[in-house]
Structure 1
């Protein structure tokens, strides 16, 4: 490698033990762009790392230092000296350190030798007890700290001594998989003034957050539900995601103080039995999914007058939605998917004339669905017993997209489908008893695309220029039919160009 004098790009260099594979091969190369150096455990002499001469490679913008899994901990000192010798040029913008088994980070990470860093990632440095003081980096915007088992606190050492403003440009911070992290304190100076996104995953002992005045997005995952007690102080918070927090039984009352919150996601919190949502006057999007023990929404949704999008998915014990949904005067999109005990929509929904998209699974579409005059997209899945579409559908003259999935008893589409004059996309999937199409499809002059899949009887009827129903659909520019194995076709047949 050392003979390639004009080599400028080398994405990955794997350090070996054989002659010609050592890290000294990088010495005379004028490399630029991104470089990942793997298997640094094979550096037997720390002096070789220094001879790689990374500090004199000004064109490198991103570096990743990576060790393997099989490291002799007796060589701890050599590991630390190796990383010390890999000091980069001051032009470096992105730095990643992975699987580093030293106890302390090198001096060049704790000084002003890398003033242009924009992004730093410390991954699985499991023996380091303290984070390097990076607060002095003036342009650092992204910091990822993951898998640092020995770190118990984030505080003074992380911010540095006599710092009046710590991390002045940091916008995104991820703290993940730190099982022994117990405390995160603030500082006497101005800390994280520009931080707008924070992810905290897998830090079960951490109970409080410092004051973060600019934080707009917060994601808590894998057992960090105790931090919800600190969110009341996050006045600027607009996005909150709570995932895989199995000990969460209900949301704390402090949550209702988040008057700026616009999006709330609650995912796979299996211990959550009830949900009270009040005071969230700015909430525009609410997603609840995978909460298998959730049985009720206490107090209803009537207070969420700014809500535009509501999704409730995989909530297996939820039997009904609360009354008062007619107060959701801004609701435009509603998704209810795989909620096995939720078999019908609440009556109040018929008055939500702002609704533009409705997606339901296993829930019987009501006859009053025709009242939803603004509806443009409708997806209905898993109606096991219904043999026909509800007649109220014919009133949806603004409907542009209709998807019918998994209706095993559906035998025919009604002739009144011709009333859906705005329809542009029709999809029919896994309706195995559906035998033919209605002649009214000929009148849908705006229909641009038809997709048929898993409907063995219908496939033959719609065969291009041969099927009995072909003349009903021949005017449609894009037709996609995926033939089942019982048919003589291979895969699908497409008439026209697919969108």
Structure 2
């Protein structure tokens, strides 16, 4: 039938149901039935076809394609099923093929009208070398070049003519090893806005990696540079908004003046720079292009696995900062409690693996809505958890001493407004908190007195191992205060032998999830109230899984719950 349809403009053979026959609605065009495994022997009658999607179809012999195609989707096709005749589609502008298949298309450079190429893998051999990119000047989106280790000289790299591709918006350069001579020959046009370079294996960059040649850059990602010791002056890029530095193990010192002042930077991510010790203060000249503030527009700062960093320049002055995520920090974090202006503007705070003794006041975080504290033994609050006035979501795990008692001498350092003795305070509540995830340390010590009632709490997850076989009276009383709770998840309490009795009285709870409760053998009668809507059991004892099945001994006690799921299998869905 396709051979008799020369007027078709759009044909989509994505098979979702029947493998051999698909009805295609072509909107204002004619109604077409096309075989799902057979392609026409002669595609010339489809000469007006511009868009063709054959993704995940089962056509085994795909040979000639309509010559005037502009958009072609071949997702799910391996290299053996993609026809080499694809290079004859000289009008093709968009090609969507899986990376493994794309790398096997020989002489793809003949498709000079292509506007984007998800991945070009440079290889040795005719039709696969970097020179295939030479005449492809119409790129307008993202160009990703891999296999840089196969380029043998700067002159060979220059054959790609990247400087002529003035419409490329984003450039990715990577390989198992990126030598300096290859990178020297891959200088992009000055219009480039996003640049990613991975696995560069030299101590310093080519000369073109400088502000004068990259004046329009908005995003930079440098990753996996084993030998690089000096970071280029990225802080002098006037428009740079997002910078990611990841896995730079040889960087020890950063000169703040030469690195620059980042006049437009909004998001800064630094990860796995284990030897980085010093970032010196920039002088006034580093504040490029008239900006008087160092990192004055920074909204998101992520510092992960930089354990040797002693100081972060101008930390107290980052008044625009809204999100701070820290993991395994250096001693620079000791200065954070004194940065009241920074803390008061934060909306999101995440601290992981912090062993430094850091004491802060919840009342310093006047805007904080989200907090995550993971395995941070040294982090403490000088006042109660309830003093996070705008907190909406909290995750506290790893047995932190977050709410342990703080001596008066330490507390007074925050001033009378923040740290008055508990018995002189009017009881407050974290009235906006809706989501809380905590480990079993929530169940012990001073947490109940300091956390108190959470009037807006909707979702609560208690996780990690505990030796307790049941909930204590105090703990159950605390749960009963949370009368807005709708979703409760109890996870990883391996020794827990019975469900808490408060469940039957808390009619607000609609969803109960039990994960990894290896000591729980059964569900007693009347344990689950009639108001329950969902009951989910996963990775508990096989005995429990059997007892809550429809033929199990506990089925009468759970059958009133409309939706029941056990180990990923839906048992009931009413």
TM over 0.5: yes
1:154 is matched with 232
Is 1:81 the equivalent of 2:155?
yes
Over 3 Å counting, the alpha-carbon distance change for 1:125 and 1:467 in structure 2 is closer
Does the Cα contact within 8 Å between 2:346 and 2:367 map onto a contact in 1?
A: yes
Over 3 Å counting, the alpha-carbon distance change for 1:44 and 1:176 in structure 2 is farther
Over 3 Å counting, the alpha-carbon distance change for 1:304 and 1:468 in structure 2 is closer
Is 1:273 the equivalent of 2:357?
yes
Over 3 Å counting, the alpha-carbon distance change for 1:14 and 1:421 in structure 2 is closer
Is 1:122 the equivalent of 2:197?
yes
2:296 is matched with 213
Pairing partner for 1:320 from 382, 393, 404: 404
Shift of 1:481: 3.0
Shift of 1:80: 1.9
Is 1:37 the equivalent of 2:37?
no
Task: Map Cα deviations across residues 415-456 of structure 1 (whole Å, 9 max, x no partner).
Answer: x74433333112344264544432374x62x32212234245
Shift of 1:320: 3.2
Measured in 1, the distance between the counterparts of 2:513 and 2:311 equals: 44
Over 3 Å counting, the alpha-carbon distance change for 1:432 and 1:60 in structure 2 is same
Shift of 1:217: 0.4
1:144 is matched with 221
Does the Cα contact within 8 Å between 1:248 and 1:272 map onto a contact in 2?
A: no
Does the Cα contact within 8 Å between 1:432 and 1:457 map onto a contact in 2?
A: no
Q: 1:420-435 maps to which residues of 2 (within 5 A)?
A: 420-429=506-515, 430=517, 432-435=519-522
Which runs of 5 or more structure 2 residues have no equivalent in the other structure?
Answer: 1-83, 283-293, 407-420
Measured in 2, the distance between the counterparts of 1:187 and 1:257 equals: 27
Task: Map Cα deviations across residues 381-411 of structure 1 (whole Å, 9 max, x no partner).
Answer: 7362326776535565533223344363534
Over 3 Å counting, the alpha-carbon distance change for 1:330 and 1:54 in structure 2 is farther
1:176 is matched with 246
**SS where residue 408 of structure 1 aligns?**
coil
2:451 is matched with 349
Does the Cα contact within 8 Å between 2:458 and 2:486 map onto a contact in 1?
A: no
Over 3 Å counting, the alpha-carbon distance change for 1:143 and 1:11 in structure 2 is farther
Pairing partner for 1:451 from 522, 536, 539: 536
Over 3 Å counting, the alpha-carbon distance change for 1:209 and 1:64 in structure 2 is farther
Does the Cα contact within 8 Å between 1:49 and 1:86 map onto a contact in 2?
A: yes
**SS where residue 199 of structure 1 aligns?**
strand
1:286 is matched with 371
1:470 is matched with 555
Does the Cα contact within 8 Å between 1:101 and 1:128 map onto a contact in 2?
A: no
Shift of 1:66: 2.5
Measured in 1, the distance between the counterparts of 2:310 and 2:185 equals: 35
Which runs of 5 or more structure 1 residues have no equivalent in the other structure?
Answer: 160-165, 363-380, 483-490
1:439 is matched with 526
Does the Cα contact within 8 Å between 1:64 and 1:95 map onto a contact in 2?
A: yes
Task: Map Cα deviations across residues 158-190 of structure 1 (whole Å, 9 max, x no partner).
Answer: 84xxxxxx432x3211122332363354589x9
Over 3 Å counting, the alpha-carbon distance change for 1:66 and 1:191 in structure 2 is same
Measured in 1, the distance between the counterparts of 2:439 and 2:521 equals: 24
- Could you tell me the TM-score, scaled by structure 1's length? 0.72
Counting matched residue pairs gives 439
Pairing partner for 2:437 from 321, 335, 338: 335
Shift of 1:95: 0.6
Over 3 Å counting, the alpha-carbon distance change for 1:106 and 1:262 in structure 2 is same
Shift of 1:274: 3.5
Measured in 1, the distance between the counterparts of 2:383 and 2:472 equals: 36
Over 3 Å counting, the alpha-carbon distance change for 1:141 and 1:300 in structure 2 is same
Measured in 1, the distance between the counterparts of 2:547 and 2:449 equals: 39
Measured in 2, the distance between the counterparts of 1:59 and 1:283 equals: 43
Does the Cα contact within 8 Å between 2:487 and 2:512 map onto a contact in 1?
A: yes
Task: Map Cα deviations across residues 30-56 of structure 1 (whole Å, 9 max, x no partner).
Answer: 33432423355x37999x644x25343
Measured in 2, the distance between the counterparts of 1:388 and 1:340 equals: 13
Does the Cα contact within 8 Å between 1:316 and 1:340 map onto a contact in 2?
A: no
Pairing partner for 1:243 from 327, 347, 356: 327
Shift of 1:144: 0.7
Over 3 Å counting, the alpha-carbon distance change for 1:207 and 1:440 in structure 2 is closer
Is 1:260 the equivalent of 2:345?
yes
Over 3 Å counting, the alpha-carbon distance change for 1:135 and 1:331 in structure 2 is farther
